[in-house]
Amino acid sequence: MQIAIDGPASAGKSTIAKLVAKKLGYVYCDTGAMYRTVTLMALRSNVAPDDAVKVTALLPQLELKFVPTADGQLVYMNGEDVSLAIRQEDVTNNVSAVSAIPAVRTDLTQRQRDIAAEGNIVMDGRDIGTTVLPHAELKVFMVASVAERARRRFLDNKEKGIDVSIATLEEEIAARDHKDSTRATSPLRQADDAILLDTTSMTIDEVVAKIMALHAERER
């Protein structure tokens, strides 16, 4: 069984996908973390995130590994734990440029399909239902208002000691939504057979319960 969860930034995809995977005993794959890792590699190599030729040249040197933990997973880039580094603001603000490069998408899509080929999976991202796993049995397109998503990210940041105003976060989220939905290759888009789930006024538990119910329907 494949569960694809797509949607814009901070809609709750990874939080929910992680919990659903845990409940079902499925593997969880955070494809955003993969795009973030390539972005980190580019920034560290002093390669401009929109330099398609130079970013693409880095890919053969990238060994990307997920290691599951009790409450999620760690991300390793060439043996280094980069789980925290890939969440920094400079990566967040440059990841849409890197993810618009077609060769990056081709490379990471293949890596994502290889992970999915190993068994039951919950995968979250932007193009899972449309491109990576078009035959997924359950596809969810998760959305929430920009204001609510900025509020969620603000609370997340506060826990990590990062101080960015809600107004700035709203701008950043809207800008990333725009870039992700208007790029030429695999833009953020709801698959025709995906179920739209607006989580603006839903708790995490409610969203998890909804997806578990949809999954149970498909198993019957």
Between residues 176 and 220, which has the closer beta carbon with respect to ligand CDP?
Answer: 176
From 3-11, 20-28, 43-51, 189-197, span contacting ligand CDP (CB under 6 A) = 3-11
Give me the DSSP letters along 48-87: -TT-HHHHHHHGGG--EEEEEETTEEEEEETTEE-TTGGG
Cα 6–Cα 144–Cα 211 angle in degrees, nearest 5: 55
Q: CB-wise, 71 or 219, nearer to ligand CDP?
A: 71
Q: Based on the shown chain and the rule CB under 6 A, indicate whether residue 2 belongs to the binding site for ligand CDP.
A: no
- Output 6 or 219, the one with its CB closest to ligand CDP: 6
Residue 12 annotated as binding site: yes
96: left (phi over 0), alpha (psi -120 to 50) or beta: alpha
Please list every residue from 23 through 62 that binds ligand CDP, using CB under 6 A.
Answer: 31-32, 35-36
Element (H, E) at 143: strand 138-143
Question: Residue 8, annotated ligand binder?
Answer: yes
| Dihedral pair phi/psi, residue 175, rounded to 5° | -65, -40
**Is 72 flagged in the annotation as binding?**
no
**Identified binder of ligand CDP from the candidate list 10, 37, 94, 130, rule CB under 6 A:** 10
- Contact mark string toward ligand CDP, 67..86, x via CB under 6 A: --------------------
Binders of ligand CDP in range 106-165 (CB under 6 A): 125-128, 152, 156
170 binds ligand CDP (CB under 6 A): no
Q: Read off the DSSP letter of residue 161.
A: T
Q: How far apart are CA 55 and CA 42, in angstroms?
A: 6
> Is position 32 annotated in a ligand binding site?
no
CA dihedral 74, 77, 82, 87 (to 10 degrees): -100
Burial of 205 (0-12, 13-18, 19+ CB in 10 A): exposed
Residue numbering of the annotated binding site for ATP: 7-15
Rule CB under 6 A: which residues touch ligand CDP?
7, 9-15, 31-32, 35-36, 95-96, 99, 125-128, 152, 156, 176, 180, 199, 202-204, 207
Residues contributing to the annotated binding site: 7-15
